[in-house]
Chain A
Amino acid sequence: MTEQEQPILSVKNLAVTYKTRKRDVNAVRDVTFDIYAGENVGLVGESGCGKSTAAYSIVGFLGRNGRVSNGEILFRGENLANRPESDLRKLRGADISMVYQEPMSALNPTMLIKDQLAESLIVHQNMDKKAAYEKSLESLKSVYMPDPEGVMDRYPHQLSGGQQQRVLIAMALLNNPSLLIMDEPTTALDVTVEAAVLDLIAELKERYNTATLYITHNLGVVARVSDRLAVMYAGEIVELASTKDLYAKPLHPYTMGLMRCLPDVDAPKGTRTLHPIDGRVPSPDNLPEGCIFSPRCEFARENCFTEHPKLDEVVPGHQARCFYAKEWLEKGVRWDDRMEEPERVCPERPAETDEIMLTIKDARVYYPVPFKTVRGLFGLEKRKYVRAVDDVSFTIKRGRTLGVVGESGCGKSTIAKAIVGLEALHDGKIDFLETDISSPINKRGSQTIRDLQMVFQDPNGVLNPSYSIGDQIALSLRRFNTVPRDQEYDEVVRLLRAVKLGENYYHRLPRQLSGGEKQRVGIARAIASNPAAVICDEPVSALDVSVQAAVLNLLLEIQKQQNTTMILISHDLSSVRFFSDDVAVMYLGRLCEIGPCESIYSSPSHPYTAALLAAVPRPDPTLEQTGVRLHGRVPSAVNPPSGCRFNTRCPFKIGEICEKEEPPRQDMGGGHLIYCHLPPQELNKL
């Protein structure tokens, strides 16, 4: 990229306004940035920061109530703002392409892949069908689609998520666009698939010299693909710099805050505290005065609350919207400085006991597949099952935390549901505090129910929208007779305070709360019965990073205070490392590896674990991020591969034995078990 060149896209003082019932709302204000050919600019921010709105205004997808109210969007020198639909339609798909977040909903489920691909060539380049098909096939090859000829004749639902995303990227590149807008293209994908797609995006940039606008909330992802980053907060760009500079010395307190609250996959439990950013992103119709970040900024001074800072160039190529950016630079305030604070949540823990809390033995959870034939209905066909959890055994000691990781469909959530009794066991046994709890919840004793509680994933579904927060917590108290009736109110308030919410939340309704607050109420409800064990099913995966940190800290604190045993189900290996003492890695209903966090993360031994860890995007642009990559898709759990389940994708497959025989359990010492055919010394080398 040379500075003299004309930028492909130049956005100047862009403001986007939405008309709502009450008034006009400026969702995006004063956004200015350029993208040059062959450059990847990342637009980063939490949800509600206006990053998608800013990007969609370029192609005019603002909906009926949105419009560009100020500024210019210059695409190769031409202003696109508020252009008629017909002009934009010619540009879209040809000169400007988009890749969306949800590949499944971005593809038309009723059209063959080849027809969808060819369509844009036929429309924009007047190609004939045959030539269009040929070009489409070529483009599929260029995104390294396995079996491209076969894929051409398939429907979207016959492809895996990663393949669908490859089709979308191929489609976006068909007309050699000069600008590519990618809206969270890997957020919906599993981490191993994400890694492969990111590799592809990075390579395509080199090959096609396309200008790319990359929208994401994930600082790890942009560190890998972007050259420059624009950090957005509440509709404004607060910092704009090259990726290296931004990660090395962030100059805006918001950027520093974002980096401080990321769990680090390479840091063991207890060595780091996460610093959440207090408060929440203000809604665009109720912006604070002065600097928009001032209410949440820990460095804010008096004038921050009254004056609005401009986006200033602090050093060449590094702009920040902060009055004191120069000072941070000169004084050398670094984002990780405050991490050495004494206020640590995790290290000291009550002495460990050897008491075994939970034993799972040969657990299987099967879902019957509905019969599709008449013969089946009359019982003449063998019943087929989705083997969600197939022969899993492990134990947890009192006071420890087990993290269960794996990609979607590996059975990690199902095992959690089986433990709390929401799913019935097909076979096997679960013992909890020396009681057999293999039966589903309606057959369990109330003491067991009270001792085994759960924190759920979706903050929007976790609370009943019809009742106030306090009433929902009080209901649990009443059910378990935790406290006498007349102390109920005080106990609810105590619980609310324990999850860092105040008494004034008692009468609020769930919809008046933010996602993070709802999740806290969910935690308060789970600990209301004083449970001995809490199972957390992806408790933070639906939350913004700054809120994730707060919720994880809260869970750790509760564990420390009450010596609760916890199981953390998560696809995010970083938060598992931050949170857990032990880790279990699952693949397709089976356990691959289980053991103390340290021995697994520091030297991953199972090939699948190695691939998972290599795939985690690290928020550090200086790291060379390569390693084991997985190909192919996860096989069906109705008909899993014989032998080792991982053999179809394993890069270290040793031969027939992997397909024929169940992998043996190998004890690596210290409670570290690996299910693999590779001999121990080979495993240690991985």
Chain B
Amino acid sequence: MAEQTLTLKNLRIAARARQMARLRESLTVVFASKTAIVGLVMVLLWVLVAVFAPLVTKFGPLEQDYLMINQGPSGAHILGTDHMGRDVWSRIAFGARTILTLGPLSVMVAFVVGITLGLPSGYYGGWIDETVMRILDAIMAFPTILLYMIIISAVGASPFNVVVAIAIGGAPGIARLVRALAMDIRTREYVAAAKLRGDKDIQIMLREILPNCRGPLIVDFLLRIGYAAFYIGTLGFLGLGLPPPTPDWGGMVQEGHSRMFANVWPVLSATLSIVTLVIGLNLFADGLREETMRYQ
């Protein structure tokens, strides 16, 4: 046992070293699973495309060229053009921006709402739990896609409303998950110890319970981004997504599906984009879950 006295500075260095060690440890968890790596690579590719969209495309996503409509792939247009002569690859690349901002954003909002409802519900139990859960049950009784359609057709299609709709649709599930975790964790002795320290309920919920929910919540977060991407696509396909000129994968399928047999490229590229992104997110989440479970 090294019995040296550490100065405050040394202390901070030691703390940082611990943090680095923890980070390294979580990275080894990711890299231990082949599934997670494959998923991560798929997702990262799309993130890169979205971030560098102007650099990886030659045309703007809204640039129309009526001399070049419904073209197949060529040197200039690697995925061809759509019925308005727009470059399909550009629209895919910029569409990735849309989906990769709206998806995580809406899930984050859903998490804030879900945690706010689920944490006290699980921690207190009793009538608080009953009330919150019955209300959430009522929301969950609607088929998700129907719920989205109702919300969007009521408030109109816009990026903001899509986020709101997906947050409302996702919050009950998250609340249930958080509630179940909180119900388990509140019986742990460290929660009793916090009470014996005189901690207030809100402190116990945020400091003792929530941090220990993070494993399952991270996995759920990733899975839900996948679902969100999927639903944004579906809403776009139903014409309830983003208003038309916006590059949006779901909208591309919608616009292109009537001409699918004449020009398959817009539909095919958009569908494959959705599929690869969603599968990537799912693989990443699954790999992470398996690996963290084995880790325990």
Chain A: residues with CB nearer than 8 A to chain B? 21, 420-422, 441-442, 446, 449, 452-454, 456-458, 461-468, 472, 475-476, 479-480, 489, 502-504, 506-507, 509, 522, 525
Contacts A21-B32, A507-B18 hold; do A461 and B197 have CB atoms under 8 A apart?
A: no
What's the nearest-Cβ distance from chain B to residue A531, in Å? 10
B32: which A residues are within 8 A, CB to CB?
Answer: 21
CB of A462 within 8 A of CB of B189, answer yes
Chain B: residues with CB nearer than 8 A to chain A? 1-3, 6, 8, 11, 14-15, 18, 22, 32, 188-190, 192-193, 195-199, 208, 211-212, 214, 294
Report the bound CA distance from A386 to B130 in whole Å. 23
A465: which B residues are within 8 A, CB to CB?
Answer: 212
B8: which A residues are within 8 A, CB to CB?
Answer: 489
Q: Which residue of A lies closest to B25 (CB)?
A: A509
CB of B11 within 8 A of CB of A489, answer yes
A479: which B residues are within 8 A, CB to CB?
Answer: 197-199
Given A441, A453, A456, A507, which contacts B189 in the complex, CB threshold below 8 Å? A456
CB of B195 within 8 A of CB of A507, answer no
Report the bound CA distance from A522 to B208 in whole Å. 15
Give 9 A-B contacts (CB < 8 Å), ordered by A residue. A441-B198, A449-B197, A449-B198, A462-B189, A464-B190, A464-B208, A475-B197, A479-B198, A489-B8
Of the candidates B15, B197, B294, the one having the most CB atoms from chain A within 10 angstroms of its own CB is: B197
What's the nearest-Cβ distance from chain A to residue B257, in Å? 47
Q: Can you name 18 extra interface pairs (CB under 8 A) apart from A421-B195, A468-B18?
A: A442-B195, A446-B198, A449-B197, A454-B196, A456-B189, A461-B190, A462-B193, A466-B211, A467-B211, A472-B190, A479-B198, A489-B8, A502-B1, A502-B3, A503-B1, A504-B2, A507-B15, A525-B193
Report the bound CA distance from A504 to B6 in whole Å. 10
Q: Which residue of B lies closest to A476 (CB)?
A: B197
Report the bound CA distance from A100 to B211 in whole Å. 36
Contacts A502-B1, A502-B3 hold; do A453 and B190 have CB atoms under 8 A apart?
A: no
Q: How many A-B residue pairs have CB under 8 A?
A: 68
A21: which B residues are within 8 A, CB to CB?
Answer: 32, 294
A476: which B residues are within 8 A, CB to CB?
Answer: 197
What's the nearest-Cβ distance from chain B to residue A490, in Å? 9
Report the bound CA distance from A399 to B211 in whole Å. 39
B193: which A residues are within 8 A, CB to CB?
Answer: 454, 456, 462, 522, 525
Of the candidates B11, B193, B294, the one having the most CB atoms from chain A within 10 angstroms of its own CB is: B193
What's the nearest-Cβ distance from chain A to residue B125, in Å? 12
CB of A422 within 8 A of CB of B197, answer no
Of the candidates B188, B208, B294, the one having the most CB atoms from chain A within 10 angstroms of its own CB is: B188
CB of B189 within 8 A of CB of A461, answer yes
Contacts A466-B211, A504-B1, A507-B14 hold; do A441 and B190 have CB atoms under 8 A apart?
A: no
Report the bound CA distance from A467 to B196 in whole Å. 18
CB of B18 within 8 A of CB of A453, answer no
Given A449, A489, A503, A506, which contacts B196 in the complex, CB threshold below 8 Å? A449
Contacts A461-B189, A502-B1 hold; do A453 and B212 have CB atoms under 8 A apart?
A: no
Report the bound CA distance from A506 to B4 in whole Å. 13
What's the nearest-Cβ distance from chain A to residue B295, in Å? 9
CB of A420 within 8 A of CB of B197, answer no
CB of A464 within 8 A of CB of B195, answer no
Report the bound CA distance from A466 to B212 in whole Å. 6
A457: which B residues are within 8 A, CB to CB?
Answer: 189
Report the bound CA distance from A522 to B22 in whole Å. 23
B188: which A residues are within 8 A, CB to CB?
Answer: 461
Q: Which residue of A lies closest to B211 (CB)?
A: A466
CB of B211 within 8 A of CB of A422, answer no
Name the 4 nearest CB pairs between A and B, nearest first.
Answer: A466-B211, A456-B189, A502-B1, A461-B189
What's the nearest-Cβ distance from chain B to residue A23, in Å? 14
Report the bound CA distance from A384 to B285 in whole Å. 47
Report the bound CA distance from A458 to B192 in whole Å. 12
Q: Which residue of A lies closest to B208 (CB)?
A: A464
Q: Which residue of B lies closest to A462 (CB)?
A: B189
Report the bound CA distance from A462 to B194 in whole Å. 10
CB of A463 within 8 A of CB of B190, answer yes
Report the bound CA distance from A503 to B4 in whole Å. 8
What's the nearest-Cβ distance from chain B to residue A16, in Å? 21
What's the nearest-Cβ distance from chain A to residue B289, in Å? 16
B190: which A residues are within 8 A, CB to CB?
Answer: 461-464, 472
Report the bound CA distance from A3 to B232 in whole Å. 79
B192: which A residues are within 8 A, CB to CB?
Answer: 422, 454, 456
What's the nearest-Cβ distance from chain A to residue B12, in Å? 11
Report the bound CA distance from A452 to B198 in whole Å. 11
CB of A420 within 8 A of CB of B18, answer no
What's the nearest-Cβ distance from chain B to residue A537, in Å? 9
What's the nearest-Cβ distance from chain A to residue B127, in Å? 13
Report the bound CA distance from A468 to B17 in whole Å. 13
A458: which B residues are within 8 A, CB to CB?
Answer: 189
B214: which A residues are within 8 A, CB to CB?
Answer: 466
A421: which B residues are within 8 A, CB to CB?
Answer: 195-196
Report the bound CA distance from A21 to B193 in whole Å. 35
